[in-house]
Amino acid sequence: MNEQQFAELAAGHALSALGPEDEAAFVDALAAHPEWEHYVASDAATVAALADSVAEVPPPRALRAELLAQIASVQQDHPAQAAAPASSLESPTVVPPESRRRSWGPRAWFALAASLVLLIGVGGGAVVIAQQLNRPVAVVALERIEAAPDAREASTTLPDGGEATVHWSESVGEVVFVSDGLPTLSSDQSYELWFVRDSGAIAAGVFEAGGDGNATALLSGTMSPGDVIAVTVEPAGGSPTGEPSGDPILAIPTA
């Protein structure tokens, strides 16, 4: 057994999912190569983290059925585990055990483990976790910025009483625009963000405001010290020329 094969078996061992033959081979290989112990410790820590991540509650039946169906389909997705069909002129192809092991790498083991954690521990909280995993990138970036020691922000008041704020952190390297009370645009228009500096305006992405005028947008590109963050109204999809089509509806200095 080589080191890669041992690493793959280590994930299954940590999950207590190896068959007797593979478990014996794993134990023998570890005895022969004690320097591979770090795979065992790493995978054991990963399994412990999965096990401790949620409280145990009964899962929804629909979630349980769906996950079990996906797990059952894994064998069909790994043709290396099955023998090739025999014809009348040739013998069946036998796949060696080591080839079957290689079709289940660490990623497959831990994908299965994560599914089981959801199945056993999440229960009614599955929807909450799904929402957390699918949060908008701008919201995630804003949390990173706010947690940074050098987080900064600058705001301005909108004409109808709303507020727009720019959040940034040099160490994080991201800038997020947050607003409430922006006017609703027609379907053929978009808001566009800009970094405005001495050399001109640099496009930083388009965004849409919700029905309540609220918006959270992650700016693309890199902010330079002293930039003004501006917003313009552009044709849907952004300015066709790469430059602002008109005067900004708001501008927020960051210096």
Buried b (16+ CB within 10 A) or exposed e, 173-188: ebbbbbbbbbeeeeee
State the CB neighbour count (10 A cutoff) for residue 238: 18
Mean pLDDT of 183-210: 93
Question: In the prediction, which pLDDT does 174 show?
Answer: 93
pLDDT, one tens digit per residue, over 129-164 is 444 445 688 888 899 999 999 999 999 998 888 899
State the CB neighbour count (10 A cutoff) for residue 215: 19
pLDDT, one tens digit per residue, over 203-231 is 999 999 988 889 999 999 999 999 999 99
* Per-residue confidence band for 61, with pLDDT thresholds at 50, 70 and 90: low
The DSSP 8-state label assigned to residue 34 in this structure reads G
Of 5-9, 71-75, 125-129, 144-148, least confident by mean pLDDT is 125-129
Residue with the larger pLDDT of the pair 89 and 60: 60
State the CB neighbour count (10 A cutoff) for residue 64: 15
| Cβ–Cβ < 8 Å for 233, 246 | yes
Question: In the prediction, which pLDDT does 129 show?
Answer: 46
Whole-number Å distance between alpha carbons of 205 and 137: 13
Residue 59 has pLDDT above 70, yes or no: no
Whole-number Å distance between alpha carbons of 11 and 39: 8
Work out the end-to-end distance of the chain between its first and last CA atoms, rounded to an integer number of angstroms.
61
Whole-number Å distance between alpha carbons of 250 and 191: 11
